[in-house]
Amino acid sequence: MNLPVKCTYCSEMIVQGEKSQETNDGALLFHYECFIRMLAGSVGHLNKKCSCFGGTQEDPPDMTKRQAAKAASDLYHQIFEGDFYESYLDSLGIHRQVFNFN
Ligand SMILES: [Zn+2]
Ligand SMILES: [Zn+2]
């Protein structure tokens, strides 16, 4: 695939050096963060404040589609791979002592 090409999600150009992701058939190309955003959902969804959870938040309204995808990707990695998992539980009101069995 020759860069730059248009990201199928945010419509901004993917330039050399940016992480990107294509579908299995190689037909569509996305920024890596945009690909994560499609799989993981919006910042609002990851914070459980979207319509799935009775809320109204989705992508932050002051961000471009690309910026919101980066924010969702960052949040996704914090929640599922980083040291922020406990604070995520706290933010959901789940008391971490629930998971201690001492
Ligand atoms: Zn994109
Ligand atoms: Zn949702």
Question: Ligand 1 being an ion, which residues bring their Cβ within 5 A of it?
Answer: 7, 9-10, 31, 34
Q: 55: CA distance to ligand 2 center in Å?
A: 9
Separation of CA 4 and ligand 2 centre (Å): 31
pLDDT digits (tens, 9 = 90+) for 56-95: 999 999 999 999 999 999 998 888 765 555 555 566 554 4
Question: Which fold does the domain 5-99 belong to in CATH?
Answer: Herpes Virus-1 (3.30.40)
Query: According to DSSP H, which parts of 13-100 are helical?
Result: 32-40, 43-46, 65-81, 85-91
Residue 101 pLDDT > 70, yes or no? Answer: no
User: CA neighbours within 13 Å on the CB side: how many for 57?
Assistant: 14
Extents of the domains making up the chain: 5-99
Ligand closest to CA 49: 2
